[in-house]
Structure 1
């Protein structure tokens, strides 16, 4: 899972290791769709999300203590802002994420997530009155055309005749996940001045864990814990440690070293790794429409990021 924070200025000297780490970050995030699909088929959605962020929150607290000496005291505004972050980017996003992966292939879900920066840019233009240039509008149009190809499996015209055959609950949940992430990003951009990325993300994760635990309390007693295999526990640890904490730390090391815009380009690798790992580990079919649509989405995202 990616995280939003204030932009950091690039440093003068850049180690090649930064670029290697960013490639691994996108590999980690691509792998979250495979781990998420395994977990989503074994546990209730709320329980899966709560366990993921139990792991992530514990590790983030360790990172905050090691790198920043602990968490700062929050103002009232920051308490409210971090609670909204936990509600949107942790609680709602993960409910939709796990819910979608329980209903659709991991590779298709990974392609949806590539639309995150597009939806965020549109939301910023509508809600914050940020100006979009002609090139950015072209990129948005190109990305949505690619998404239409992916969603309809290469047959947009046929999908219009029977939309229920192309757009199911899984696809709708992924759209909701993207929308909740856009809200998370915009709140983080405007309301968390004065907090470091680590502090903001740790507080958001703790709030999200609280919301998820309350929601999952009813399911805990009904889960047959002894029947859960090692694959599910491994998936949960992967989601919390690699997909959340290590991915977050390395991603913002990249932002600090080479700037936010250049770092964001690496996000185009997430669906590539997601589709590849889904085919390799889950045996999912790679459709020509997924490749064609994915290329258009990546091109549109690149234009919009410019």
Structure 2
């Protein structure tokens, strides 16, 4: 990988990691479901006018939009609003790689190798340690919401694998159009019109900047740059940089939000990141009879390609 490409990969990981801190700030301006709806609205418009028509069937766009946009991000923002720290959220969300592998095994018949199974066990051990640590310092209900968000992300990864979008940026922009109305409806029902209107009326430059960051910088730039790197390098070369996301997430939260990082949390981070590395980067066992469709030039076969592509939305 050229030095400029390497720096771009690190920049994308930093953008995605810092995004958790930005989301934490945004939750001080907006109710969580309204914030998520605004994020997708800003990500879709005007980008949807620039990326061209969808390149996959609408059933996949709608399915991923509902699971990733409504379920995953709704649960993530609710969990963070309920007290889940930004840095810890950036770490725990990476358990999506384990959920992806498990769901792919059940749905796609992609049996994990021993290395991948070991990685899942190590990552789960990291999450368990993080849960014990959080249980002494914060609400476990919020922790559970973020774990549920990771599970939904795993489902969306498998759906994306089935959709096999030829242009990840085009796909993500069109996916962003789907959650806007459902999230707005849920926000009106659960958060209330008065609270939503009050947040919109109180919109200031910081609130607007937060929405633009999570929409344009995190989604449009981050996902576009990640897809650009994947078209030029093997996924096995690009994927390890996604493991820097929780590093930047925890560091930025500690620096800008003053979130403490306890020794058990650092141990949990080491276990989870190491386990995710084994789970995501170990080549899956080939399927008999039907075989697996190769994700692209130099990419590993199986769900790893979908995981690598969708890791960009880890914030996100």
Report the TM-score, using the length of structure 2 for normalisation: 0.81
Larger relative contact order (C-alpha < 8 A, sep ≥ 6)? 1
Report whether the alignment pairs 1:18 with 2:12.
no
Q: Name stretches of at least 5 consecutive residues in structure 2 with no aligned partner.
A: 283-316
CA distance in 1, matches of 2:212, 2:80: 17
Matched with 2:294 is none
Mapped to 2, the partners of 1:195 and 1:179 lie a distance apart of: 25
Q: Does 1:189 align with 2:153?
A: no
Q: 1:296, 1:200 → 2: CA distance?
A: 32
2 CA distance for matches of 1:17 and 1:62? Answer: 29
Matched, 1:121 2:106: no
Match of 1:286 among 248, 261, 286: 261
Asked if the contact 2:79/2:143 (under 8 Å) is kept, the reply is yes
Q: How does 1:137-148 map to 2 (within 5 A)?
A: 137-148=117-128
Q: Show the counterpart of 2:30.
A: 43
Within-5 A mapping of 1:103-182: 103-153=83-133, 168-182=140-154
- Does the 8 A contact of 1:151 with 1:167 survive in 2? no
Within-5 A mapping of 1:147-296 = 147-153=127-133, 168-190=140-162, 192-193=163-164, 195-217=166-188, 219-222=192-195, 223-224=197-198, 225-296=200-271
Question: Cα RMSD over matched residues?
Answer: 2.1
TM superposition score normalised by structure 1: 0.84
Distance across 2 between alignment mates of 1:193 and 1:174: 26
- In the TM superposition, residue 59 of structure 1 has moved relative to its aligned partner by 4.6
Could you give the per-residue CA deviations for residues 181-236 of structure 1, whole angstroms, max 9, x where no partner exists?
1111111111x246422222122111122322333356455432333343222211
Matched-pair contact (CA < 8 Å) for 1:45–1:99: yes
Equivalent residues of 1:18, 1:257 under 8 A apart:
no
Whether 1:88 and 2:67 are equivalent positions in the alignment is yes
Pick the aligned partner of 1:71 from 49, 53, 71. Answer: 53
Q: How many residues align?
A: 276
Work out whether residues 55 and 165 of structure 2, in 8 Å CA contact, stay in contact via their aligned partners in 1: no
Q: Which runs of 5+ in 1 are unaligned?
A: 1-13, 65-69
Is the 1:40–1:99 Cα contact (8 Å) retained in structure 2? no
